[in-house]
Structure 1
Amino acid sequence: MTDEPANPTPDEALGAALRSLWHTGDPVPETLLAAGFGALGWRDVDGAFARLVEDTGAEHTLAHVRGGHSPARLLTFAAGDLMVVLELAGRRLLGQLDPAAPATVAVESAAGPHTVRADDHGRFRADDLPAGWLRLAVAFDGGERLRTAWFGT
Protein backbone atom coordinates (compact mmCIF):
# COMPACT_ATOMS: atom_id res chain seq x y z
CA MET A 1 0.00 0.00 0.00
CA THR A 2 1.32 3.49 -0.89
CA ASP A 3 0.67 6.95 0.48
CA GLU A 4 -0.21 8.24 -3.01
CA PRO A 5 -3.92 8.74 -3.80
CA ALA A 6 -5.51 6.59 -6.53
CA ASN A 7 -6.50 9.62 -8.64
CA PRO A 8 -4.04 12.38 -7.76
CA THR A 9 -4.74 16.03 -8.52
CA PRO A 10 -2.10 17.88 -10.54
CA ASP A 11 -0.66 19.38 -7.31
CA GLU A 12 -0.46 15.95 -5.67
CA ALA A 13 1.20 14.48 -8.76
CA LEU A 14 3.75 17.32 -8.81
CA GLY A 15 4.43 16.81 -5.09
CA ALA A 16 4.97 13.08 -5.63
CA ALA A 17 7.35 13.75 -8.54
CA LEU A 18 9.38 16.23 -6.48
CA ARG A 19 9.56 13.85 -3.49
CA SER A 20 10.81 11.10 -5.78
CA LEU A 21 13.39 13.41 -7.39
CA TRP A 22 14.75 14.59 -4.03
CA HIS A 23 14.75 11.10 -2.55
CA THR A 24 16.74 9.55 -5.41
CA GLY A 25 18.73 12.52 -6.75
CA ASP A 26 19.75 14.31 -3.56
CA PRO A 27 18.91 12.27 -0.46
CA VAL A 28 19.33 13.77 3.00
CA PRO A 29 22.47 12.34 4.70
CA GLU A 30 21.67 9.90 7.51
CA THR A 31 23.78 11.88 10.01
CA LEU A 32 21.72 15.00 9.29
CA LEU A 33 18.47 13.08 9.73
CA ALA A 34 19.70 11.64 13.05
CA ALA A 35 20.74 15.08 14.30
CA GLY A 36 17.41 16.58 13.25
CA PHE A 37 15.38 13.87 14.94
CA GLY A 38 17.54 14.20 18.05
CA ALA A 39 17.04 17.96 18.20
CA LEU A 40 13.32 17.76 17.59
CA GLY A 41 12.65 14.60 19.58
CA TRP A 42 10.05 14.49 22.33
CA ARG A 43 11.22 16.40 25.36
CA ASP A 44 11.19 14.94 28.81
CA VAL A 45 7.92 16.45 30.04
CA ASP A 46 8.85 15.77 33.67
CA GLY A 47 12.35 17.20 33.39
CA ALA A 48 13.41 20.83 33.63
CA PHE A 49 14.86 22.66 30.63
CA ALA A 50 17.98 24.65 31.52
CA ARG A 51 18.58 27.62 29.26
CA LEU A 52 21.95 29.18 28.61
CA VAL A 53 22.34 32.29 30.79
CA GLU A 54 26.06 32.98 30.35
CA ASP A 55 28.71 32.04 27.75
CA THR A 56 32.23 33.46 27.75
CA GLY A 57 32.90 32.03 24.28
CA ALA A 58 31.93 35.27 22.53
CA GLU A 59 34.46 37.22 24.62
CA HIS A 60 37.39 35.11 23.38
CA THR A 61 36.74 34.83 19.63
CA LEU A 62 40.02 36.57 18.70
CA ALA A 63 42.17 35.16 21.51
CA HIS A 64 43.71 32.40 19.39
CA VAL A 65 44.17 34.33 16.12
CA ARG A 66 47.98 34.50 16.51
CA GLY A 67 48.39 30.77 17.13
CA GLY A 68 47.95 30.62 20.89
CA HIS A 69 45.62 28.25 22.65
CA SER A 70 42.05 29.40 22.99
CA PRO A 71 41.07 29.88 26.63
CA ALA A 72 38.59 27.62 28.34
CA ARG A 73 34.99 28.54 27.67
CA LEU A 74 32.63 28.92 30.63
CA LEU A 75 28.91 28.25 30.20
CA THR A 76 26.15 28.58 32.77
CA PHE A 77 22.70 27.01 32.40
CA ALA A 78 19.78 27.65 34.74
CA ALA A 79 16.33 26.19 35.35
CA GLY A 80 14.60 27.59 38.41
CA ASP A 81 16.79 26.84 41.43
CA LEU A 82 18.97 24.38 39.48
CA MET A 83 22.17 25.52 37.80
CA VAL A 84 24.87 23.79 35.74
CA VAL A 85 28.25 25.50 35.32
CA LEU A 86 30.57 24.11 32.65
CA GLU A 87 34.16 24.68 31.62
CA LEU A 88 34.79 23.54 28.07
CA ALA A 89 38.44 23.26 27.01
CA GLY A 90 39.12 21.43 23.76
CA ARG A 91 37.52 18.01 24.04
CA ARG A 92 37.26 18.10 27.86
CA LEU A 93 34.27 19.22 29.87
CA LEU A 94 34.35 19.99 33.60
CA GLY A 95 31.05 20.58 35.33
CA GLN A 96 29.46 21.60 38.61
CA LEU A 97 25.82 21.09 39.61
CA ASP A 98 24.24 23.63 41.93
CA PRO A 99 22.85 22.70 44.34
CA ALA A 100 25.55 20.07 44.69
CA ALA A 101 24.19 16.54 44.44
CA PRO A 102 25.19 13.16 43.00
CA ALA A 103 23.76 12.51 39.56
CA THR A 104 24.19 10.69 36.28
CA VAL A 105 25.21 13.12 33.53
CA ALA A 106 24.88 12.19 29.87
CA VAL A 107 26.71 14.43 27.41
CA GLU A 108 24.59 13.99 24.28
CA SER A 109 25.88 14.48 20.73
CA ALA A 110 25.22 13.20 17.23
CA ALA A 111 27.74 10.44 18.04
CA GLY A 112 25.57 9.27 20.97
CA PRO A 113 25.63 9.83 24.73
CA HIS A 114 28.81 9.89 26.85
CA THR A 115 27.70 9.11 30.43
CA VAL A 116 29.60 10.10 33.58
CA ARG A 117 28.78 10.43 37.29
CA ALA A 118 28.66 13.62 39.32
CA ASP A 119 30.06 13.10 42.81
CA ASP A 120 28.41 14.12 46.11
CA HIS A 121 29.71 17.66 45.53
CA GLY A 122 28.05 17.82 42.08
CA ARG A 123 31.36 17.75 40.20
CA PHE A 124 31.86 15.78 36.99
CA ARG A 125 34.27 15.47 34.09
CA ALA A 126 33.90 14.15 30.55
CA ASP A 127 36.91 13.63 28.27
CA ASP A 128 37.38 12.90 24.56
CA LEU A 129 34.11 14.52 23.53
CA PRO A 130 33.33 14.88 19.83
CA ALA A 131 33.39 18.28 18.16
CA GLY A 132 30.01 19.73 17.27
CA TRP A 133 26.80 20.29 19.17
CA LEU A 134 26.37 18.96 22.71
CA ARG A 135 23.79 19.07 25.47
CA LEU A 136 23.58 17.57 28.94
CA ALA A 137 20.89 15.31 30.36
CA VAL A 138 21.19 15.20 34.15
CA ALA A 139 19.37 12.63 36.29
CA PHE A 140 19.78 13.48 39.97
CA ASP A 141 19.81 10.55 42.38
CA GLY A 142 16.79 12.12 44.11
CA GLY A 143 14.71 11.77 40.94
CA GLU A 144 14.84 15.28 39.46
CA ARG A 145 15.83 15.55 35.80
CA LEU A 146 17.32 18.41 33.83
CA ARG A 147 18.32 18.90 30.20
CA THR A 148 20.40 21.82 28.94
CA ALA A 149 20.04 23.69 25.68
CA TRP A 150 22.36 22.60 22.86
CA PHE A 151 25.74 24.33 22.71
CA GLY A 152 28.57 24.16 20.19
CA THR A 153 32.14 23.16 20.98
Structure 2
Amino acid sequence: MAHDEVPGWQDEMLAEYRRVAAALDPPPPDLAAAAKAAFAARDLDAEIALLIADSRTEAGAALYEPVRAEPDLVSGRWLLSFDGGGIQAEIEVEAVDGHLRLLGLLSGASAEDCYLETAGAHHRVDVDDLGRFIVEHIAPGPIRLRCRSTEGIRVTTAWVTV
Protein backbone atom coordinates (compact mmCIF):
# COMPACT_ATOMS: atom_id res chain seq x y z
CA MET A 1 0.00 0.00 0.00
CA ALA A 2 1.44 3.43 -1.01
CA HIS A 3 1.72 6.36 1.42
CA ASP A 4 -0.90 8.36 -0.43
CA GLU A 5 -3.41 5.57 0.16
CA VAL A 6 -3.07 5.72 3.98
CA PRO A 7 -5.26 8.49 5.43
CA GLY A 8 -3.43 10.93 7.74
CA TRP A 9 0.13 9.73 6.97
CA GLN A 10 1.24 13.33 6.29
CA ASP A 11 -0.05 14.51 9.66
CA GLU A 12 1.77 11.67 11.42
CA MET A 13 5.00 12.41 9.56
CA LEU A 14 4.81 16.14 10.37
CA ALA A 15 4.13 15.35 14.01
CA GLU A 16 7.22 13.12 14.10
CA TYR A 17 9.34 15.83 12.44
CA ARG A 18 8.14 18.34 15.05
CA ARG A 19 8.97 15.95 17.89
CA VAL A 20 12.49 15.31 16.55
CA ALA A 21 13.14 19.03 15.90
CA ALA A 22 11.93 19.98 19.39
CA ALA A 23 14.23 17.37 20.96
CA LEU A 24 17.35 18.13 18.88
CA ASP A 25 17.08 21.88 18.27
CA PRO A 26 14.53 23.54 20.58
CA PRO A 27 13.84 27.28 20.23
CA PRO A 28 15.59 29.61 22.70
CA PRO A 29 13.60 29.95 25.93
CA ASP A 30 12.93 33.69 25.48
CA LEU A 31 11.86 33.43 21.83
CA ALA A 32 8.12 33.18 22.47
CA ALA A 33 8.13 36.15 24.90
CA ALA A 34 10.16 38.28 22.47
CA ALA A 35 7.87 37.40 19.55
CA LYS A 36 4.73 38.22 21.55
CA ALA A 37 6.24 41.52 22.73
CA ALA A 38 7.22 42.50 19.20
CA PHE A 39 3.77 41.71 17.86
CA ALA A 40 1.94 43.45 20.71
CA ALA A 41 4.13 46.55 20.51
CA ARG A 42 3.99 47.03 16.76
CA ASP A 43 3.09 50.45 15.46
CA LEU A 44 2.62 50.38 11.72
CA ASP A 45 2.45 54.17 11.48
CA ALA A 46 5.70 54.85 13.33
CA GLU A 47 8.88 55.89 11.56
CA ILE A 48 11.87 53.62 12.14
CA ALA A 49 15.16 54.89 13.50
CA LEU A 50 17.76 52.42 12.31
CA LEU A 51 20.84 51.28 14.19
CA ILE A 52 23.67 53.07 12.40
CA ALA A 53 26.54 52.15 14.71
CA ASP A 54 27.33 49.63 17.44
CA SER A 55 30.72 49.86 19.12
CA ARG A 56 30.66 46.08 19.73
CA THR A 57 31.40 45.62 16.03
CA GLU A 58 34.68 46.52 14.36
CA ALA A 59 32.95 48.78 11.84
CA GLY A 60 30.93 50.47 14.57
CA ALA A 61 33.95 50.99 16.83
CA ALA A 62 35.69 52.88 14.02
CA LEU A 63 32.79 55.39 13.86
CA TYR A 64 33.00 56.50 17.48
CA GLU A 65 35.44 59.16 18.51
CA PRO A 66 36.14 58.92 22.25
CA VAL A 67 34.95 61.85 24.33
CA ARG A 68 35.34 60.69 27.93
CA ALA A 69 36.87 57.28 27.45
CA GLU A 70 36.98 54.41 25.00
CA PRO A 71 34.02 52.04 25.18
CA ASP A 72 35.27 49.20 27.36
CA LEU A 73 33.80 45.94 26.13
CA VAL A 74 35.72 43.96 28.73
CA SER A 75 33.88 45.74 31.55
CA GLY A 76 30.58 45.53 29.68
CA ARG A 77 30.20 49.04 28.28
CA TRP A 78 29.40 49.91 24.67
CA LEU A 79 27.70 52.54 22.50
CA LEU A 80 24.71 52.39 20.14
CA SER A 81 23.57 55.06 17.65
CA PHE A 82 20.18 55.28 15.94
CA ASP A 83 18.98 57.68 13.26
CA GLY A 84 15.66 58.10 11.46
CA GLY A 85 12.24 59.71 11.59
CA GLY A 86 13.80 63.06 12.46
CA ILE A 87 15.54 61.88 15.64
CA GLN A 88 18.98 60.70 16.64
CA ALA A 89 19.60 58.57 19.71
CA GLU A 90 22.97 57.87 21.30
CA ILE A 91 22.89 55.22 24.00
CA GLU A 92 25.70 54.01 26.25
CA VAL A 93 24.96 50.55 27.62
CA GLU A 94 26.73 49.47 30.81
CA ALA A 95 26.50 46.16 32.63
CA VAL A 96 26.02 46.72 36.38
CA ASP A 97 25.54 43.79 38.79
CA GLY A 98 23.85 41.51 36.26
CA HIS A 99 21.56 44.23 34.92
CA LEU A 100 22.04 46.99 32.38
CA ARG A 101 22.07 50.75 32.74
CA LEU A 102 21.36 52.91 29.71
CA LEU A 103 22.63 56.48 29.48
CA GLY A 104 21.17 58.24 26.47
CA LEU A 105 20.91 61.43 24.51
CA LEU A 106 18.02 62.16 22.14
CA SER A 107 18.20 64.85 19.46
CA GLY A 108 15.10 65.97 17.60
CA ALA A 109 12.81 64.14 20.02
CA SER A 110 10.15 65.41 22.39
CA ALA A 111 10.92 65.00 26.09
CA GLU A 112 7.44 63.55 26.62
CA ASP A 113 5.92 60.21 25.63
CA CYS A 114 9.18 58.25 25.53
CA TYR A 115 9.39 54.54 26.42
CA LEU A 116 11.98 51.79 26.42
CA GLU A 117 10.48 48.46 25.40
CA THR A 118 11.92 45.12 26.35
CA ALA A 119 10.62 41.62 25.69
CA GLY A 120 7.41 41.66 27.69
CA ALA A 121 7.60 45.11 29.33
CA HIS A 122 7.94 48.81 28.68
CA HIS A 123 9.55 51.44 30.89
CA ARG A 124 8.79 55.15 30.96
CA VAL A 125 11.90 57.13 30.04
CA ASP A 126 12.27 60.50 31.73
CA VAL A 127 14.04 62.78 29.26
CA ASP A 128 15.37 66.12 30.52
CA ASP A 129 15.29 69.44 28.62
CA LEU A 130 18.64 68.65 26.98
CA GLY A 131 17.47 65.23 25.73
CA ARG A 132 19.39 63.18 28.31
CA PHE A 133 18.01 60.10 30.05
CA ILE A 134 19.03 57.21 32.30
CA VAL A 135 17.23 53.87 32.52
CA GLU A 136 18.49 51.42 35.13
CA HIS A 137 17.89 47.78 36.06
CA ILE A 138 17.18 46.54 32.53
CA ALA A 139 17.54 42.79 31.94
CA PRO A 140 19.81 41.77 29.05
CA GLY A 141 17.86 41.01 25.89
CA PRO A 142 16.09 42.81 23.04
CA ILE A 143 15.21 46.50 23.50
CA ARG A 144 13.90 49.39 21.46
CA LEU A 145 13.11 53.04 22.17
CA ARG A 146 9.74 54.62 21.28
CA CYS A 147 9.25 58.37 21.30
CA ARG A 148 7.92 61.32 19.31
CA SER A 149 9.92 63.71 17.22
CA THR A 150 9.62 67.42 17.94
CA GLU A 151 7.23 67.51 14.94
CA GLY A 152 4.96 64.97 16.68
CA ILE A 153 5.87 61.96 14.50
CA ARG A 154 5.99 58.61 16.33
CA VAL A 155 9.45 57.08 15.99
CA THR A 156 10.59 53.62 17.06
CA THR A 157 14.17 52.42 16.99
CA ALA A 158 14.97 49.06 15.50
CA TRP A 159 15.15 46.20 18.02
CA VAL A 160 18.68 45.59 19.26
CA THR A 161 19.92 42.95 21.68
CA VAL A 162 21.85 44.29 24.64
Fold-level similarity (TM above 0.5): yes
| Counterpart Cα distance in 2 of 1:63 and 1:50 | 24
Does residue 118 (structure 1) correspond to residue 118 (structure 2)? The answer is no
**Match of residue 106, structure 2, among 83, 87, 97:** 97
What is the one-letter code of the residue matched to 1:45?
L
Question: RCO greater where, 1 or 2, for CA within 8 Å and sep 6 or more?
Answer: 2
> What's 2:88 paired with?
83
1:102, 1:140 within 8 Å by CA — same for their partners in 2? no
Root-mean-square deviation (CA, aligned residues, Å) is 3.3
What is the one-letter code of the residue matched to 2:160?
F
TM score, norm. by length of structure 1:
0.70
Note the C-alpha offset of 1:30: 6.9
Between the aligned residues of both structures, percent identity stands at 31
1:127 counterpart SS class: strand
| Counterpart Cα distance in 1 of 2:72 and 2:90 | 23
Q: When the two structures are aligned, how many residues end up with a matched partner?
A: 141
TM score, norm. by length of structure 2:
0.67
Unaligned 5+ residue runs, structure 2? 1-6, 62-69
Unaligned 5+ residue runs, structure 1? 1-7
| Counterpart Cα distance in 1 of 2:54 and 2:104 | 14
Note the C-alpha offset of 1:53: 0.5
| Counterpart Cα distance in 2 of 1:30 and 1:56 | 27
Deviations 1:11-45 (A, max 9, x none): 234335656x47x9898687431212323557312
| Counterpart Cα distance in 1 of 2:148 and 2:81 | 18
- Cα pair distance change 1:112/1:97, threshold 3 Å: same
- Cα pair distance change 1:63/1:140, threshold 3 Å: closer
